[in-house]
Amino acid sequence: MDKLAVIALGGNAITRNDQKGSILEQEINVKETLKNILFLIKDDYKLIITHGNGPQVGNILMRNDAGEQLYKITQMPLDICVADSQGGIGYLIERVLRNLLKEEGIKKDVLTLVTQVIVDKKDPAFKNPSKRIGKSYTKEESENLAKKKGWIFKETPKQPGYYRRVVPSPVPKSIFNRESIRKMALHGSIIIAVGGGGIPVYRDEDGSLKGIEAVIDKDMASSLLAQRIEADELYILTDVPYIYLDYKKPTQRIAEFLTVEQAKNYLKQGQFSEGSMAPKIRASIEFVEKGGKKAIITEATKLSDKKYGSKITKQ
């Protein structure tokens, strides 16, 4: 029986911390990552690919700001910037994947969907920005930008001493076109959707859709999509091959197999950083609790090597 899976590509699958972010660099990174999902396609998995957009949407916002200052170009709101990043990254993933499929002699449609995601306008996240976007800055640079632009910064867990801008990250409530996504995937098309966590929208008093200034967590949105389309497996690709306990401490150790209850306990113990692994663990727990068979967290380039990867299951 065919398996339905959602694969969430992390930011490092597109842009690495030590790179400038040129299209050539991004194309090489995406190709390196997508090569590792070909085995799932060959095994007749039905796939939906989601992706992050933290570095890219941050760069779009910086271009926004520079355009206004230098050329008086009107700035676009954050939801439009998310939509821009969704389209651009989706196009890149689709083009690279089509080329890989051609090389492998595999004939499949690949569809990129601009996806809107409903959030609650009163979500507490709007009073406590936490989602890191854009490039990393030194403490001095971040303080100058905070004074100049009113931006909020938080230290980057993976780069102590460096700071990134943070914006609200509300909980995703509902995803548009999920039934169509499910049907097209089961029919055999590879779907790219919920890019950057989806474009954040809410319904006003008369039920009309309105955009809102936020960036939804990609892993939480991917988990919600996987739940709603009744996917069998959720893959969260990041920059480490396993979940680690006591990360970067002398007692660091691999957690290759975790039950939902074990994962919850480690979360309570503060084992996972809120700016890094914690959202991935929560997304995995929610997926498995809502009926998913297995969530896998691993490095983007290690997926095809089955000796890597941490698995979260019910029991």
% pLDDT > 90, the chain: 85
**SS3 annotation, 201-261:** EEECCCCCEEECCCCCCHHHHHHHHHHHCCCCEEEEEECCCCEEECCCCCCCEEECEEEHH
As a whole number, mean pLDDT of residues 160-172 equals 95
- Choosing from 196, 218, 309, 311, the catalytic residue is 218
- Return the pLDDT at 20: 86
Q: Is 280 a catalytic residue?
A: yes
Question: Per residue in 222-267, pLDDT tens?
Answer: 999 999 999 999 999 999 999 999 999 999 999 999 999 999 999 9
- Return the pLDDT at 1: 66
Q: Is 314 a catalytic residue?
A: no
- Choosing from 10, 11, 134, 195, the catalytic residue is 11
Cβ neighbour number for residue 101 with a 10 Å cutoff: 18
- Return the pLDDT at 109: 98
- Choosing from 54, 280, 292, 311, the catalytic residue is 280
Q: Is 12 a catalytic residue?
A: yes
Q: Which amino acid is at 294?
A: K
Per-residue confidence at 136, pLDDT binned at 50, 70, 90? confident
Is the model's pLDDT at 275 over the cut of 80? no
* Rg, Å, the chain Cα set: 19
Q: Is 131 a catalytic residue?
A: yes
- Choosing from 10, 131, 197, 309, the catalytic residue is 131
Give the predicted TM-score (pTM) of the model: 0.94
Q: Is 11 a catalytic residue?
A: yes
What domains can be seen in the chain, in order of their start residue? 4-130+168-313 (3.40.1160.10)
Tell me which of 54-63, 116-125, 226-235, 289-298 is least confident. 54-63
